[in-house]
Structure 1
Amino acid sequence: MKKRVLRNKLLTGVIFLLLVSMVLSGCGGQSGSQPAEPASGQSSAPAEAPSNYPARAMEFVAPAGAGGGWDLTIRTVGRILQETGIVEVPMPVTNREGGGGGVNLAYMQEKAGSDDYIAVYSPPLLLINLNGSTQLSYENTTPLARLITDYQAFMVGQNSQYSNIHEVMEALKADPKSVKVAGTSAAGSMDHIAFLIIAKEAGVENLSEIDYIAFQDGSSASQLMGGHVDLLSTSLSQVSGLIESGDLVVLAQTAPHRVGTGVMGEIPTCIEEGINATFENWRGLFGPPEMPGYAVDYWSEVLAEMVTTDEWQAALVSNGWDDAYLDAAGFKSFLEIANESYKMILDEIGMLAE
């Protein structure tokens, strides 16, 4: 009997040690489950958000100088997210200017896989690739949401010789070098292309001879007021304060309808002026390439909530923006279509890269 008891105790001890060994080696249990492999083409980051994400400050980026349309958009997003309590971590804005957004796009590649970096972009993200300024494109980012549509405006200083858009176009028809056009984006990008689209529809030829000067440091409005250029092509919201103060006079804007209220709502469209063309300056937010899925899901939900707030709706009105919200999937599809559309425009005016 004693030998049988001892033998049973030894057997129990051996079984216990085997079980402990199996657990420590990761082979315990009868389910046979294995650690999940990351899906093809996806980040190896966890699929679900950490319980404390975001746990640290986010870096919000405007790829141009302070005071521009990109800057206004992303600062408005950060302010409203904090004012409404939707996001509690700090969201300071960095202005990383240069190359019509290309400098920041290159930097975003160094942030691949990060979950704390978001930039704002608009048509130049596509145009600087199509015009050959950079080999990078929207495909080297993670689209999060399209938020708004702004529109281009063509404006002059108080003492300008031009009182309407027709006078500008007639001057260009007579001599393409007679009007110096300024913008914030690089040559071949949005401010430049938007003006050329309208000029082409107005019957201006030799579009490539028009003098376009880019002021990516945010000084374009002061250059216009100082008489160093004749006309400024930029977004309505970017210079709304100077328009309302009367320092700048808008000759026409590219929306299909009038936008905004007060002085802004009085600006005629190009269509009203007999030039049957429009240009939409959409803006949206992008993460770096390979942004973790949990971060994409989090910001998609956050932005979807933000656009329903009273604060965001008020910002749309005050800035003359049209609501153009699309979620991440819809935004990606839109970008694919827009890219093909811009390709045709650049090809038509001889600025598509080989």
Structure 2
Amino acid sequence: MNMKLKSLMIGAAMTSVAAIPMTSVAAQDYPPKTLSFVAPSGAGGGWDLTIRTVAKTLKDTGLVDANMPITNRPGGGGAVNLAYMQTQVGSDKLISVYSPPILLTNLTGASKYSYQDTTPLARLITDYGAFVVSKDSKYTTINQVMEALKEDPKSVKIGGTSAAGSMDHIQFLLIAKAAGVPNLNQIDYISFQDGGAVAQVLGGHVDLISTGLGDVAQLVESGNLHALAQTADKRVGDGKVAEIPTVKEQGIDATFENWRGLFAPKDMPEYAVTYWNKTLKAMVETPEWAEARKRNGWDAAYQTGEEFNDFLAQTNEEYKEILAEIFKK
């Protein structure tokens, strides 16, 4: 073959290959055979329940054929996993669930990272706070707890699965503040990020757990735990969960929303973002997801990635004001 012609053919072939956008090739093969779904907490908590429910729904509905193993990466109220996500910038495989702590850990100085160091994919649901005690507890109403704290802020030990200064802690302090409890910074809060909070209250090591309603719904249904109150502006769920009074019903003028959504590492490729926007929108419209929401007492709160990002920016400012008020000297 003429060397000049051969050179031209090779050059043309290289130009042709180079002209194929890599995103198109990657998009065609997406998702990969295995994805990495992460709960930034121990097993059994709200993040764990949410990400497992998402994976099961995606698989059961046939929306995603890939393997979706769940990894638990607890620590720092989600800060440990958030730091890990910074090592995965640009990845199209890792998806993690988060809720208010992705903002709170940054605002309280526990983490230098926040939602801006991720790719928000979708807001999925709103859970609510719940305050539960053992079935043999001397406390039968949330007001009894608040009255005890007014007399002595050390008289009631509060447990939760988030870090001190993060969601479970903050939601309890918000309700206590609304109830007129002084010296909020003197209240004992113990963090059980390994998911052992329920065992601690059942064993009498703490008096009350501040947690997500969905986290303890089944234990309330079974009668192992007694719920004193929940933080929605209305009653939610079914069965015994629907019987849990709101704090507002008990004269405490406050609510707290525990929204949850999915996040990928920062700079997730556009083809992957597009895929998840489409897939998650389809998922939240399935009867399987509706049943999961009903079972766990979750309200629908779907937002696309762009809408979710705007919501996070607004909510971050609101949390700044809340923290400044709670911890002001």
TM-score past 0.5 threshold: yes
Corresponding residue for 1:99? 76
For the residue of structure 2 that corresponds to 1:85, the secondary structure is: coil
State the Cα deviation string for residues 167-219 of structure 1 (Å, max 9, x = none). Answer: 11011111111110000000000000000000000000100000000000111
Gaps of at least 5 residues in structure 1 are 1-12, 28-33, 37-43
For the residue of structure 1 that corresponds to 2:153, the secondary structure is: coil
Task: State whether residues 131 and 351 of structure 1, in contact with CA within 8 Å, keep that contact through their aligned partners in structure 2.
Answer: no
Corresponding residue for 1:41? none
Corresponding residue for 2:141? 164
Q: What is the CA–CA distance in structure 1 between the aligned matches of 2:78 and 2:105, rounded to whole Å?
A: 8
Task: State whether residues 27 and 272 of structure 2, in contact with CA within 8 Å, keep that contact through their aligned partners in structure 1.
Answer: no
State the Cα deviation string for residues 3-33 of structure 1 (Å, max 9, x = none). Answer: xxxxxxxxxx899678547636749xxxxxx
Q: What is the CA–CA distance in structure 2 between the aligned matches of 1:331 and 1:203, rounded to whole Å?
A: 33
Identity %: 58
For the residue of structure 1 that corresponds to 2:28, the secondary structure is: coil
State the Cα deviation string for residues 15-69 of structure 1 (Å, max 9, x = none). Answer: 9678547636749xxxxxx969xxxxxxx96267531211220000000010110
Q: What is the CA–CA distance in structure 1 between the aligned matches of 2:195 and 2:125, rounded to whole Å?
A: 21
Deviation at 1:289, TM superposition (A): 1.0
Map 1:237-256 → 2, pairs under 5 A: 237-256=214-233
TM-score between both structures, scaled by the size of structure 1: 0.88
Structure 2 residue 241 is the aligned partner of structure 1 residue 264: yes
Corresponding residue for 1:319? 296
Amino acid at match of 1:60: F
Corresponding residue for 1:23? 12
Corresponding residue for 1:282? 259
Are the structure 2 counterparts of residues 304 and 19 from structure 1 closer, same or farther at C-alpha, using a change threshold of 3 Å?
Answer: same
Structure 2 residue 224 is the aligned partner of structure 1 residue 235: no
Q: What is the CA–CA distance in structure 1 between the aligned matches of 2:262 and 2:132, rounded to whole Å?
A: 28
Residue among 285, 290, 302 paired with 1:308: 285
Residue among 117, 121, 124 paired with 1:140: 117
Are the structure 2 counterparts of residues 16 and 96 from structure 1 closer, same or farther at C-alpha, using a change threshold of 3 Å?
Answer: closer
Root-mean-square deviation (CA, aligned residues, Å) is 2.1
Task: State whether residues 49 and 298 of structure 1, in contact with CA within 8 Å, keep that contact through their aligned partners in structure 2.
Answer: no
State the Cα deviation string for residues 273-323 of structure 1 (Å, max 9, x = none). Answer: 111100000000000111111111111111000000000000110000000
Q: What is the CA–CA distance in structure 2 between the aligned matches of 1:317 and 1:62, rounded to whole Å?
A: 21
Q: What is the CA–CA distance in structure 2 between the aligned matches of 1:189 and 1:229, rounded to whole Å?
A: 18
Task: State whether residues 187 and 212 of structure 1, in contact with CA within 8 Å, keep that contact through their aligned partners in structure 2.
Answer: yes
TM-score between both structures, scaled by the size of structure 2: 0.95
Gaps of at least 5 residues in structure 2 are none
Q: What is the CA–CA distance in structure 2 between the aligned matches of 1:19 and 1:351, rounded to whole Å?
A: 73
Q: What is the CA–CA distance in structure 2 between the aligned matches of 1:323 and 1:25, rounded to whole Å?
A: 50
For the residue of structure 1 that corresponds to 2:27, the secondary structure is: coil
Amino acid at match of 1:114: S
Corresponding residue for 2:313? 336
Residue among 63, 73, 76 paired with 2:53: 76
Corresponding residue for 2:31? 54
Map 1:3-22 → 2, pairs under 5 A: 20=9
Task: State whether residues 145 and 328 of structure 1, in contact with CA within 8 Å, keep that contact through their aligned partners in structure 2.
Answer: yes
Q: What is the CA–CA distance in structure 2 between the aligned matches of 1:186 and 1:66, rounded to whole Å?
A: 16
Q: What is the CA–CA distance in structure 1 between the aligned matches of 2:321 and 2:60, rounded to whole Å?
A: 42
Task: State whether residues 45 and 293 of structure 1, in contact with CA within 8 Å, keep that contact through their aligned partners in structure 2.
Answer: no
Are the structure 2 counterparts of residues 351 and 157 from structure 1 closer, same or farther at C-alpha, using a change threshold of 3 Å?
Answer: farther
For the residue of structure 2 that corresponds to 1:150, the secondary structure is: strand
Are the structure 2 counterparts of residues 351 and 242 from structure 1 closer, same or farther at C-alpha, using a change threshold of 3 Å?
Answer: farther
Residue among 174, 181, 184 paired with 1:204: 181
Corresponding residue for 2:194? 217
Corresponding residue for 1:152? 129
Structure 2 residue 92 is the aligned partner of structure 1 residue 115: yes
Amino acid at match of 1:178: S
Runs of 4+ in 1 over 6 A off after TM superposition: none
Q: What is the CA–CA distance in structure 1 between the aligned matches of 2:114 and 2:14, rounded to whole Å?
A: 46
Are the structure 2 counterparts of residues 45 and 123 from structure 1 closer, same or farther at C-alpha, using a change threshold of 3 Å?
Answer: farther
Task: State whether residues 128 and 189 of structure 1, in contact with CA within 8 Å, keep that contact through their aligned partners in structure 2.
Answer: yes
Corresponding residue for 1:296? 273
